[in-house]
Structure 1
Amino acid sequence: MRIQRAGERYPGGDPAAGIETSHAFSFGGHYDPDNLRFGAILACNEERLAPGAGFEEHPHSHTEIVTWVVQGELTHRDSAGHATTVRAGDVQRLSSAGGVRHVERNDADVPLVFVQMWLAPLDPGGEPGYEIVPGIADSTPYALPEAAAMLHVRRLEAGERTAVPDADFVYTHVVRGTVRVDGEELAAGDAARITDARDLALMATGDAEVLLWEMRDPRRSFS
């Protein structure tokens, strides 16, 4: 298990334009050849957008982009014709496939906070795809077969425990609160990268919200 603390993330964005980004993996000018990906995950960015701020139209390709809104509302438009508002508790997925362009903005009058994760597809190319799952429940994992991955959302009260999925790779990101996993204390913004996870549990040491990515080696199947 490798721990990455919130303070070890790479700063980015454009604070003068109301965009503050915190990168967990190599990104832009912050290049680390030992921190390019974990399992299928290529990026895990914490984004904070001031009212009226946003990312103007930009391209993506050969990437599965999953967004979890923590606070506020995210306005999304893309070149495939989708125009949506993503709210706290919603899971948004954009399969950029052979290529798509999109806009992400905070058109509300309150700050927007979201976590965006990029995953490598098993088979690049194809046609772009898009969906929103509103108000996803703790007991309903979000399957992303295109990347051999599942997203588990856990909202825990202090003292509550939950199983860490048994998997080839598990990426744990603490959205808020504090948790303990395998003896390690994690706070908001911290992440744990677990290889060959077996018989592990996560316990909330305060009220917490956690994202858990369960990923398999593409040469193997989920058990």
Structure 2
Amino acid sequence: MAPVTPDTVVAVTDASTRPRADLRRAAERYRSEPAEGIETRHAFSFAGHYDPKNTHFGALLACNEETLAPGAGFDEHKHRDTEILTWVVEGALAHRDGDGHAGVVRPGMLQHLGAGSGVTHTERNVGGAQVPVRFLQLWLQPDTFDAPPVYGLRRVEPEPDGLTLLASGLPRHAGSAALRLRRSDAALYLVTAGPWEQLPTLPEAPYRYLHLTAGGLGYRTVPGPHGAGHSMSPGDSVRATGPAFADPMAGPEGAELLLLEMHSAVSYG
């Protein structure tokens, strides 16, 4: 993906953190084709697309849905001071960086690249693939800058209760199997539920970003009968502040989503 660093993003004060569940449909994402065989759908301002009212949410700087055709990929490019998390939905993604790390990310695996003081890498549809690779990539602002780059790749075994910790910088998760983020108040989870099941109890936080990767989901904006009801389809996301996003229930095909728990917003200067 083309590089974005904190100094290329204009700071905008977050809106009030009053309880709100802001639903963003997949079709509303900005679409770009940065190179042949690549389609990107952006949730936030990115590269040539700039919306001063949509530069970040909490500590999240970018959430891009990428599709790489067979043989396509991002040539070598550089990142700095960004925590990059990659989750593959379909296909396989080959990663190689200038520090000698190489890996193939497949469904059920999470990759973490902490760019730190600077790292170059490539991302391509795996060699010999006959189908596209689709993946979701989230970029977080770290709270430790100019540190040595770090790389991690883990296979995920979903927890029976439906809430699986994938990556975290939170002190309470120290020593867990989660990939370690250089953002001390953020964590990423995989959330799963069977057909017509309630989602497990989700962590509370001032900022929660939810992205549905498969299935369907219904929820209320606030708890109880007075909360407006909404439904989500794959690719839809919700930006929830405070206790908003209540009573979530999977649809007839179940639900799989990524949940990003964040306790503060981006800061610059």
Q: Answer yes or no: same fold by TM over 0.5.
A: yes
The aligned residue for residue 135 of structure 2 is 114
Shift of 1:156: 2.1
Residue identity matched to 2:91: G
> Alpha-carbon deviation of 1:109?
2.3
Residue in 2 aligned with 1:211? 258
Using the TM superposition, give the Cα deviation of residue 151 of structure 1 relative to its aligned residue in structure 2, in angstroms. Answer: 1.0
Q: Equivalent residue for 2:177?
A: none
1:141 aligned onto 2:165: yes
CA distance in 2, matches of 1:73, 1:188: 19
Q: State whether structure 2 residue 224 is matched by structure 1 residue 151.
A: no
Picking from 77, 81, 103, the partner of 1:62 is: 81
**Is residue 64–residue 121 contact of structure 1 (8 Å, CA) maintained in 2?**
yes
One-letter identity of the residue aligned with 2:144: D
Aligned positions, number: 217
Q: Please say if residues 91 and 136 of structure 1, whose CA atoms lie closer than 8 Å, have aligned partners that are also in contact.
A: no
Aligned counterpart, 2:104: 85
Query: What per-residue deviation string (whole Å, max 9, x for no partner) do you get for residues 81-134 of structure 1?
Result: 101111111010000001000000002222101000000001221100000111
SS in 1 for 2:134: strand
Q: CA deviation digits over 1:23-54, x for unaligned, max 9?
A: 00001221111111111110010001111100
Higher strand residue share: 1
Give distance in 2, aligned partners of 1:143 and 1:57.
25
- What TM-score do you get using the length of structure 1 for normalisation? 0.92
**Residue identity in the other structure for 1:213:** L
Structure 1: unaligned runs, 5 residues or longer: 219-223
User: What is the aligned partner in structure 2 of residue 128 from structure 1?
Assistant: 149
Match of 1:221 in 2: none
Pairing 1:195–2:241 present: yes
- Give 1:102's aligned residue: 121
Q: Secondary structure at 1:203's aligned position in 2?
A: strand
Separation in 1, partners of 2:157, 2:113: 17
2:35 matched to 1:11?
Answer: no
Amino acid at match of 1:3: L
Q: Secondary structure at the match of 1:161?
A: coil
Q: Give secondary structure in 2 for the equivalent of 1:7.
A: helix
- Displacement of 1:158: 1.7
Rounded Cα–Cα distance in structure 2 between residues aligned with 1:85 and 1:201 = 36
Matched, 1:170 2:208: yes
Please state how far the C-alpha of 1:140 moved relative to its aligned partner: 2.9
Give how far 1:209 is off: 1.3
Q: Tell me which residue corresponds to 1:27.
A: 46
Q: Which runs of 5+ in 2 are unaligned?
A: 1-20, 170-181, 221-228
- Whose radius of gyration is greater, 1 or 2? 2
Q: Deviation at 1:178?
A: 1.2
What is the identity percentage for the equivalent residue pairs of Structure 1 and Structure 2?
A: 45
What is the alpha-carbon root mean square deviation over aligned residues? 1.6
Task: Check the 8 A contact 2:164/2:191 in 1, yes or no.
Answer: no
The one-letter code matched in structure 1 to 2:22 is R
TM-score, scaled relative to structure 2: 0.77
Q: CA deviation at 1:198?
A: 6.3
d(CA) in 2 for partners of 1:200, 1:80: 43
